[in-house]
Structure 1
Amino acid sequence: MAFSAPIDPQFNQELRTLLEERQEELFETFSPPESRANSQGSTENVSEDCIRHDANDDEDDSDEDEPLTEADPTELARLYSQTHPEMVHEDDHREDDDDDLDKSSVEAVFRTGCGCKHQCYTNFSVDRVWEYRLNMSEFQKDQLDVLVLAKLEQCEVQGEPIRGGKRERQFFDYVFDGHRTCEKVWRYIHNLGEKRFKNLKAHYKTHGVVPRDHGRRGKRPVNAYSFEVVQDVVKFLLRYADDNGLPMPAAPHGRDGRPPVYLPSCDTKADVYKKYVNACKVCQPAKQSVGETTFRNIWKLCVPHIQRMEPRTDVCAKCEHFRNEIQFATTEEDKLNSSIAFSGHILKAQKEREFLNSCIKRAQGEVTDITVQPPCSPCSLDLHNVHYTFDFAQSFLLPHQSRQVSPLYFLNPLRVNCFGVCNDSLQSQMNYLFDESQTIGIDNRKCHGANNVVSMLHNYFHEHGLGEKGCHCHADNCAGQNKNKTVIHYFCYRTSTGLHDEINYHFLEPGHTKCICDACFGKIRQVYRRSDVDTVSQLADIVSKSSRREQGEVLW
Structure 2
Amino acid sequence: MNHKQNDIRKEDQKEAEIISNFTRETCQCSVFYGSKPCSTIVGVDNLLENRTQCQELSSREKELVVKSQLCTQRKNSTFTSENKKSKKLRTRPSQKYFFHGQQICKKTFCFAFAISQSTLKRMSKSYDMYGLSVNEHGNCKTTPAHALSFDDTTRIKKFIEEYANKNALPLPGRLPNCPKQTVLLLPCDKNVTDIYDLYMKSAKEANYRVVSLKTFRNKWNSLCPHIAVATPATDLCVKCQKFMGKLKTNAHLSDEERHNVLSDYTCHVQKANRQRQLFKDQVLCSKAVCSTTDVTEGLEK
In the alignment, structure 1 residue 313 sits paired with structure 2 residue 235: yes
1:158-237 maps to which residues of 2 (within 5 A)? 158-160=76-78, 170-237=93-160
Query: 2: CA distance between counterparts of 1:151 and 1:479?
Result: 72
Q: Structure 1-normalised TM-score?
A: 0.37
Q: Which residue of 2 aligns with 1:256?
A: 179
Aligned residue pair count: 238
Change (3 A) 1:155 1:190: same
Determine which of 158, 166, 189 is the counterpart of 1:266: 189
Q: Which structure has the greater CA radius of gyration?
A: 1
User: Of 44, 48, 51, which aligns to 1:133?
Assistant: 48
Distance in 2 between residues matched to 1:179 and 1:267, nearest whole Å? 67
C-alpha distance in 1, partners of 2:177/2:259? 19
Amino acid aligned to 2:222: L
Contact 1:120 1:182 in 2 (8 A): no
Shift of 1:264: 0.4
The aligned runs of 1:475-554 (5 Å cut-off) are 475=258, 478=261
CA deviation vs aligned residue, 1:66-87 (integer Å, no higher than 9, x gap)? xxxxxxxxxxxxxxxxxxxxxx
Shift of 1:183: 2.8
Preserved CA contact (<8 Å) 2:184 2:228: yes
2:146 is matched by which residue type in structure 1?
A: N
CA deviations over 1:296-324 (Å, ceiling 9, x no partner) = 0110111111100123233314999xxxx
Report the CA distance shift for 1:477/1:161 in structure 2 as closer, same or farther (over 3 A).
Answer: farther
Q: Does 2:161 match 1:238?
A: yes
Cα deviations across residues 355-406 of structure 1 (Å, max 9, x unaligned)?
A: x98xx8xxxxxxxxxxxxxxxxxxxxxxxxxx7325xxxxxxxxxxxxxxxx
Tell me, in whole angstroms, the C-alpha distance in 1 between the residues paired with 2:69 and 2:15.
19
Deviations 1:54-99 (A, max 9, x none): xxxxxxxxxxxxxxxxxxxxxxxxxxxxxxxxxxxxxxxxxxx976
1: CA distance, partners of 2:49 / 2:23: 11
Distance in 1 between residues matched to 2:91 and 2:114, nearest whole Å = 28
Provide Cα deviations, 1:471-511, integer angstroms capped at 9, x if missing partner: xxx648749569xxxxxxxxxxxxxxxxxxxxxxxxxxx9x
1:138 partner letter: Q
- Summarize the Cα distance change of 1:244–1:255 in structure 2 as closer, same or farther, 3 Å threshold: closer
Which residue of the partner structure matches residue 223 of structure 2?
302
Say which of 283, 286, 292 aligns to 2:213.
292
The superposition leaves residues 21-40 of structure 1 with CA deviations (integer Å, 9 ceiling, x where unpaired) of xxxxxxxxxxxxxxxxxxxx
- Which residue, out of 38, 55, 67, partners 1:149? 67
Q: Identify the residue that residue 24 of structure 2 maps to in structure 1.
A: 107
Q: Point out where structure 1 has 5 or more consecutive residues left out of the alignment.
A: 1-96, 321-351, 361-386, 391-420, 422-452, 454-473, 483-509, 511-556
Deviation at 1:233, TM superposition (A): 1.0
8 A contact 2:74–2:94 mirrored in 1 = yes
Evaluate the alpha carbon distance shift between residue 289 and residue 105 of structure 1 in structure 2; reply closer, same or farther with a 3 A threshold.
same
User: Greater share of strand residues, 1 or 2?
Assistant: 1
Code of the residue aligned with 2:217 in structure 1: it is R
Q: 1:119 to 1:211 in 2, by over 3 A?
A: farther
Q: Distance in 1 between matches of 2:17 and 2:41?
A: 14
Q: Distance in 1 between matches of 2:101 and 2:240?
A: 83
Measure, in 2, the Cα distance between the counterparts of 1:265 and 1:114.
Answer: 69
Structure 1 residues 195 and 115: alpha-carbon distance in aligned structure 2, compared to 1, 3 A threshold? farther
State the identity as a percent.
19
The letter for the 2-side match of 1:108 is E
Looking at structure 2, the residues matched to 121 and 196 of structure 1 have their Cα atoms a distance apart, in angstroms, of 27
Measured in 1, the distance between the counterparts of 2:259 and 2:227 equals 27
Report the counterpart of residue 205 of structure 2 in structure 1.
282
SS of residue paired to 1:388: coil
Aligned residue in 1 for 2:252: 388
Cα offsets for 1:237-273 (capped at 9, x unmatched): 0110011111235535896331110000111111101
Using structure 2 for the length normalisation, give the TM-score. Answer: 0.64
Match of 2:85 in 1: none
Tell me the alpha carbon deviations over residues 194-244 of structure 1, each in whole angstroms, 9 at most, x when there is no partner. Answer: 121112112222332234544323221121122222211111101100111
User: Residues 320-366 of structure 1: CA distance to partner in whole angstroms, max 9, x if unpaired?
Assistant: 9xxxxxxxxxxxxxxxxxxxxxxxxxxxxxxx99xx98xx8xxxxxx
Give the 3 Å change call, closer, same or farther, for CA 222–120 of structure 1 in structure 2. Answer: farther
Whole-angstrom CA distance in 2 between matches of 1:171 and 1:120: 24
Alpha-carbon distance between aligned partners in 2 of 1:175 and 1:120, rounded to the nearest angstrom: 19
